[in-house]
Amino acid sequence: MRKNIVAGNWKMNKNLKEAKELVKGIRKGLKNNNFENKRVIVAPSFINLNSTVKRTKKSNIEVAAQNMHEAKSGAYTGEVAADMLTDVGVNVVILGHSERRMYFNETNELLAKKVNTALANNLEVIFCFGELLEDRKTEKHFEVVENQLSEGLFHLLKEDFSKVILAYEPVWAIGTGETASPEQAQEMHAFIREVLAKKYDEKTANSISILYGGSVKPANAKEIFSKEDVDGGLIGGASLKSEDFLAIIEAI
């Protein structure tokens, strides 16, 4: 059975001290939580990964990186390699976030390479994708999403694909306060599962967790998560306060 996942993407927020406080708050709130069918992941900036891994030891909180370079090592100033992540105890990486696509020109082609490198290093991938407002307005959203999946992921064999978590994040809903309606999210998630069944098979399609991301907050999480094909969320702004993040985890 696929797992429900709540992942907090801290983006370029939280210094060392603030990260420590946030983890402390989340740990405290999750003390008596049942993790049987649930995963909680936090994604701090690179510089806070090591300390966050240490601070989440002996808890059920997992730590993800927000990005990673596709090469094994080399002259890539400012970049971080996959084995540097695993070396400090990180086992999940977010790839393809719309901010990486938009501000750092990450293409589906590049992301396919990053996905390969991550999986080859035993990093689980949270693969983000989603349409722009213009795509939705012109009713191209299904086509755009299918294309992002196909170019970024569908070169993978079934066994490797099952190590990927999908995060559908309509770009118009990220950080805007505007959320896709639960119906819009469900419609897209069901479509994604159909596409996966067509490419791989029904069993694979049903085993992949598909998260929704884009202005999820305590007030709307329950309704979005109640939809059949929504298996949790990738949370930005609301993951920066432990009370909000805990309330969202509670909603799953």
Residue from 112, 149, 216, 230 binding ligand PGA (CB under 6 A): 216
- Secondary structure (DSSP) of 153-183: HTTS-HHHHTTEEEEE--GGGSSSS----HH
Q: How many residues make contact with ligand PGA (CB under 6 A)?
A: 13
Among 70, 106, 131, 169, the active-site one is 169
Cα dist from 101 to 112, 170, 224, whole Å: 13, 13, 25
Q: Is 174 in the site for ligand PGA (CB under 6 A)?
A: yes
- Residue 208 vs 234, nearer CB to ligand PGA: 234
Residue from 175, 198, 203, 226 binding ligand PGA (CB under 6 A): 175
Residue from 62, 106, 169, 229 binding ligand PGA (CB under 6 A): 169
Which helix (H) or strand (E) covers residue 144, if one does? Answer: helix 141-153
Q: Is 8 in the site for ligand PGA (CB under 6 A)?
A: no
Q: Is 66 in the site for ligand PGA (CB under 6 A)?
A: no
Whether residue 159 lies in the annotated active site: no
Q: Determine contact, residues 221/185, Cβ cutoff 8 Å.
A: no
Q: Is 96 in the site for ligand PGA (CB under 6 A)?
A: no
- Residue 205 vs 211, nearer CB to ligand PGA: 211
Smallest distance, ligand PGA to C-beta of residue 248, A: 10
Whether residue 250 lies in the annotated active site: no
Long-range contacts of 54-59 (CB under 8 A, 24+ apart): 54/89, 55/20, 55/23, 55/24, 55/27, 56/23, 56/27, 59/27, 59/30
Options 36-44, 53-61, 155-163, 232-240: segment touching ligand PGA (CB under 6 A): 232-240
Which distant-in-sequence residues (6+ apart) come within 8 Å of 152 by Cβ?
96, 108, 111, 112, 115, 127, 129
Which helix (H) or strand (E) covers residue 131, if one does? Answer: none
- Positions annotated as catalytic residues are 97, 169
Binding residues for ligand PGA, per CB under 6 A?
Answer: 9, 169, 174-175, 213-216, 234-238
